[in-house]
Amino acid sequence: MPLKNPPADNSAIQPATVRIWKELPMQTWFDPRSVALIGVSRQSGVGAYNNLEMLKRYGYRGKIYVVHPKVDEILGHQTFANVTVLPEVPEMAVISVGRERVLPVFEECAAFGIKRVVVISQGFADADERGKELQAQLLALARKYGTRILGPNTMGILNAFSRFNTGFVDIAQDPDPPPLTLVAQSGVFQVGFESFTTRLGKAIDVGNAC
């Protein structure tokens, strides 16, 4: 049976198991050690749809870098004008900007060396012909830089074990998550799955599956 999450000090895991765990290609998606949030709302509270607020409330323990060109701080986090001035290359970026800004922001992330990008933004192949064109260009950029992309039009990732959540709605912490993972094309099943059937340990909303 696969491990839910390895102990922080790896004390209870054999060396070979530790090596395999570190090499799992999906592990960074579910449990990144650092994440850049681009396009965070300056508002908070009900109706703000602030993914920084939701990530903090959910209990994420990794490094959070907030990228915003117009303010110096959001919810106690220093902001950076763009990803190129971050002190390190984050393991993941989450983009939540208007669709016309997604491509330059994505390319900036990819050129900086970020290998996994979640595009929350809507209005691509899910919308109109212009959106389809933008999505095709986004995919071309991902292939050019060898960057993995989740979305667009997605709630992204949920991991109740590592307290990681890229979505912009409030999700209650589960003190004992079940070993159950959901892969869906709609975020409604990710954020409201308990209402339909049972609790989740992990979830991926593939969105437009770019």
Q: Which pLDDT belongs to residue 192? A: 54
Cis peptide before 32 (omega within 30 of 0): no
Q: Is residue 195 part of a domain?
A: no
3-state SS string for 54-83: HHHHHCCCCEEEEECCCCCEECCEEEECCH
Q: Which two tokens stand for residue 63?
A: 């490094």
What is the identity of the amino acid at 65?
Y
Whether 37 contacts 64, CB under 8 Å: yes
- Cβ–Cβ < 8 Å for 35, 64: yes
- 3: in domain: no
In a domain, 121, yes or no: yes
Q: Confirm whether 204 is domain-assigned.
A: no
What confidence score (pLDDT) does residue 70 get? Answer: 93
For the chain, how many structural domains are there in total?
Answer: 1
Let me know if residue 178 belongs to a domain.
no
CA quadruple 44, 126, 200, 2: dihedral positive or negative? negative
Residue 37's φ and ψ, nearest 5 degrees, are -105, 120
Q: What is the pLDDT of residue 210?
A: 78
Q: What is the pLDDT of residue 188?
A: 59
99 domain residue, yes or no: yes
3-state secondary structure 9-61: CCCCCCHHHHHHHHHCCCHHHHCCCEEEEECCCCCCCCCCCCHHHHHHHHCCC
pLDDT of residue 199: 79
Q: What residues form DSSP beta bridges with 78?
A: 73
Print pLDDT tens along the chain (210 aa).
444 454 444 444 444 444 444 555 788 999 999 999 999 988 776 666 789 999 999 999 999 999 999 999 999 999 999 999 999 999 999 999 999 999 999 999 999 999 999 999 999 999 999 999 999 999 999 999 999 999 999 999 999 999 999 988 878 888 899 998 888 887 555 555 555 456 789 989 999 987
- Residue that has been written with the tokens 């830089």 in this structure: 145
- Residue 171, domain member (yes or no): no
Rounded to 5 degrees, φ, ψ at 174 are -110, 115
pTM: 0.83
Here the CATH number for the domain that contains residue 142 is: 3.40.50.720
115 in a structural domain? yes
Domain residues for the domain of 59 are: 15-154
